């Protein structure tokens, strides 16, 4: 039987207490230096972030708001064909000497 432990962190931004249940063996592997994605592949990215930084998913979204591809495309200078959307000029080729 795999033993689970509860790991608690307080979000440094909002003070909310976060609890993540992990397998004890996975937790010890992570504490010994194994990459968290490898040691705990069954956790969600949000759960791993809580363990790494303590930042809760709500605060993470406030700090790093997700952007959809349309917003990113509108902010980009170049379209998918490498043409500057403001001037119509192609993306400059690197000067290789």
Q: What phi, psi does 21 have (nearest 5°)?
A: -90, 125
- Using a cut of 0.75, tell me whether the model's pTM lies above it: no
Q: Tell me the per-residue pLDDT of 54-93, one tens digit each, with 9 for 90 and over.
A: 999 999 888 888 765 445 445 556 666 666 666 676 766 6
Q: Across residues 2-26, what is the average pLDDT? A: 94
Compute the distance between CA of residue 46 and CA of residue 50 in angstroms, rounded to an integer: 6
**Cα 57–62–20 angle (5° rounding)?**
15
What is the helix (H) or strand (E) element at residue 94, kind and residue range? none
pLDDT above 90: residue 97: no
Collapsing DSSP states into helix, strand and coil, what is residue 21? strand
State both tokens at 69.
């591809």
Q: For the chain, state the CA radius of gyration.
A: 21
């Amino acid at each position: 039987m795999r033993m689970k432990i509860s790991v608690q962190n307080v979000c440094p931004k909002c003070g909310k207490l976060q609890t993540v249940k992990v397998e004890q063996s996975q937790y010890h592997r992570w504490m010994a230096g194994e990459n968290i994605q490898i040691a705990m592949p069954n956790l969600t990215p949000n759960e791993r972030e809580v363990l790494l930084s303590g930042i809760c998913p709500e605060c993470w979204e406030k700090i790093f708001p997700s952007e959809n591809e349309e917003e990113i495309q509108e902010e980009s200078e170049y379209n998918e064909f490498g043409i500057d959307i403001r001037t119509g000029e192609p993306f400059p080729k690197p000067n290789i000497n």
